[in-house]
Structure 1
Amino acid sequence: MKMRIMHLEFGRRAHGGAKQVILLINALSEDDFEHILVCQESSELATLTLKNCKTLPIPFGGALDITSVYRVRDIIEEHKPDIVHVHSRRGGDLWGALAAKISGIPAICTRRADDPESLLAKFKYSHFQAVVSVSHGVQEVVKNHCPENISQHIIPFCVQEKEFTHSPNRNWLNKKYNIPAHHQVIASFAQLSPRKGQADIIVSMPDILAENPDITCLLFGRGRQKENYQTLIDRYQLNDHVKLCGFTKHVNRILPNIDVVLHPVYAEGLGVTVLQAAVCKRPIITTPVGGIPDIIEHEKSGLMIMPGDFGQLKDAVLRLLQDKALAEKVGNHAYQHVTRSFTPEAMAKKYASLYQSLFTQETPDVAHVDEDQSKY
C-alpha cells in the first residue's frame, strides 16, 4: 500500500526551494508513495503537472492568514494523507503544522534558510514530529529553538545533473549579452538582495579591472535592489563591464560559458547556485556561511573569502582567472563531491526513510547525514 504525502509549498516561483519539492516528488518511488501538492493559487507551481501527484492550489495570504489553517485542514480531512510535509515558511509552516495537529496527522518541517528565527519558533516546531535542516549551518539555527522531544535531521538540497548538459557556446553568450570576444566572464546567480553580496561585487570591480580590464561581470537575478545596484554601476562608471541581466530560466545554458562563478553571500541555507556551478565544473568563489561549507572546501573545491572583504574578493577573482590549472582543479573537485552527495536520489532516500519512520514510529536512518557524503 502506497504512503500518501501531502506537501505544502507556498512559494510563488518554481525555482529555488520550490524546485527542490518538485525534484523530491519526482525522485521518490512511485511504487511506495503518492503525493498531494498544496500550493498558492497564483504560483508557478499551480500551473505544473507532476507525475504521481495531485496539485491543489488554494488562496494564501501569508503569515497573517490564519484562515489558511482551515483550508489546509479541510484538504487533509478530504484526502487523508499519511504525512504532512511543510516546505514553506512565511506562515505556511505554522499554519500547516496546526492544521496537521488538528487533524491528528504526523507533520515534518523542512527549514531551508539560516536567518534568525522568530519569537514563535519554539511554539511552531513543537507541533511537528520532525524538523529537517538542509545543512549543518541551518541546523545550528534550528537546534536553539527546537524542543528536545522533536527529532532533528539534516537532508541537503540536490541538483539534477541531467538538466546541466549544455556544451559551452561563448559566441552565443557574447552575442546575447554584448560581451567583447576577448573578455573573460564572471557571473553571479542570485536574488538581488544585500545578503547575496552583489553590491560587494560591483564595488570590487574597479580594483579588479585596474589589474585586468578584459572582464565582463554578469549579475543574474531580480529583486528590490535592482535600482540601487544600477546606481552603483553608474557611480563607478562600470556599464561597459557590469550588467544587470535580470532573472533567467537558462542558467543551465549560461553556466558552462562562465569563467568564474561568484557567490559572496552573507547568509545562505545551502546554496543551489553553488550546486549548479559545481555540476558544471565551474570554479566558485563564495563565503564560509550557513551551509556553504557542506559543499565547498577552501582551495580544494573552490575559494572561500570572508563576507564583505573586497580585497579578498578581488584577489580570488584575479587568481582564478589567471590560474587555469587551479580553476580546473577546484571545478572538478566540486563536481565530484556534488554528483556523489547532492543528488535527487540521495535526497529522496533520506526522506523516504524519515516518512517511513513517522508512519511506523521507528527510528529513521537519517538522524545525522554522513560526514563523508555531505560535509568536508
Structure 2
Amino acid sequence: MTGERSGGRRRFDAAVTGLGMMTPAGKGTAASWEGIRRGAGTEAVRVPELVGIAPEFVCQVPDFDPVAVVGRRRAGQFDRSSLLLLAAAMEAVADAGLDPQSWDGTRVGVVIGNGIGGAETWEAQHRRLLERGPRRVSPRLIPMLSPNMAAGYVSLEFGARGPSLVTATACASGTTAIGTARELLRSGACDVVITGGAEAPLTPSLVTGFQQMGALSGRGDDIRAASRPFDADRDGFVAAEGAAVLVLERARDARARGARIRAMVSGYGASADAYHPTAPDPECTGASLALRAALRDAGIGPGEVDHVNAHGTATRINDATEARLIRQVLGDRPLVTSVKGVTGHSLSAAGAIEAAASALTLQDSFVPPTANLESLDPEIELEVVAKEGRWTPAEVVVSNSFGFGGQNAVLLLTRA
C-alpha cells in the first residue's frame, strides 16, 4: 500500500477505536460477529403482526430488552430504532475506553445514518388516532419518529456538543454517515465522532411496501435459507432491523492515548447513478465513480484490495450489477462476501453493520462466509466465500453500499 494519493498528499486514516452492534445475528459485537462468522443461515423469525398481510418472516435482534438499555421509566420514550442505536452506541463508547464524563463534549460529533425514522411509533400512533381519537396520540410522537433524533438522542446521552447530523441515503445511509464522520475528523471540527446507522422498519405497512415492489424473498417454507446473496436461486431480501456504531478518532490521537485500534477507515467515495428511482445502473457508471473515489482517497490501487464486503442484497438485479462493478474495477482477485445471508437487510443500518464486520475481518484476519450460497450464479464471476469462512491476512477491505435514488457510498478500510 502506498499511503499516498494523487499529488503526493498523505491519506487520512480514521482509527476505529470502538464498536457496538445490535443485529439479528446477536446482541452486542461479540455475539453479532460470532453469528456472522458462523454463517449458518438467515436469522429470520415469524412475527404475528405480519400474518396475512405481508411476508410473515423478518430478521429481528434477538431478546432485545429496552429496559436494560435506558431503564423502565424511559423505555417508552423512544422508538425501537433509537433504542437499538443507543444500545450499540453505549457499547461502542465503552469499547473505545472513553469516558463521556471527562471528555470535552464540544469536540465530540455524532453522525448517524437513518432513512425512515421511528416507523414503529408512527404506525402505532396513527392506528391509535384512527381507533381512539386525537387526544390519545402521544405528545412524544414527533421526537420519537423524526429521523434527526437518531443523532439527537446519542448527543443527549453522551453530552456530545459537536456537529450532530443524520444522513439519509436509503440503504447507503450508514456508510455515508461513516464517511461524513471521517471528514469531520479530517477537517479538525471534531476529535471524536460517534457514527453508524440504525433502522427498525419491521412494520406491516413498510414490509408490505417492499413486498409490493417485489423486493422480498418469498421462501416462507424455509426461512433459514431465505436470504441467498449471489446464489443462482436467490429471490429477494429479508427485511431486518439493527444498529451498529463505530467510534472514530484521528489515528495519531488514538495512538497517543494508547487506544486499541481495530482498523482504519482510509478511504471514502460517494456518487449518484442519476439513472432510476430504485433500479441500479446496469453499466455501473455511478457506482464505479464511488468505488474509484474511495481507492483514490486512500491512495490504494485496485489490485491491492483483498476483500469486498458486498452490499449483496440477494435480489437478482442488484447482486448481478454489484458483481459486474467489482469485476470491472477490482478484477477477480478479492474474496467477496455478503453478511446479509445471516442478518437480512436492515436498510440504513446495513452499511454500518458491514463496516463493523469489515473492521473485524481486518482485526481477526477472517473473511466470513456468505450464508445460504449453495450454487453461485454463473453471472457472478467472482470468488465469493461460501460454506466456511477463510483465514486470510487481509490488509485492505472495501465495503459497498447502494441505495434507492441511485445513491452510492463506498468505504475502504485498512489494517491498523
TM-score normalized by the length of structure 2: 0.23
Q: Which is greater in Rg?
A: 1
TM-score normalized by the length of structure 1: 0.25
Q: Which has the higher contact order (CA 8 A, sep 6+)?
A: 2
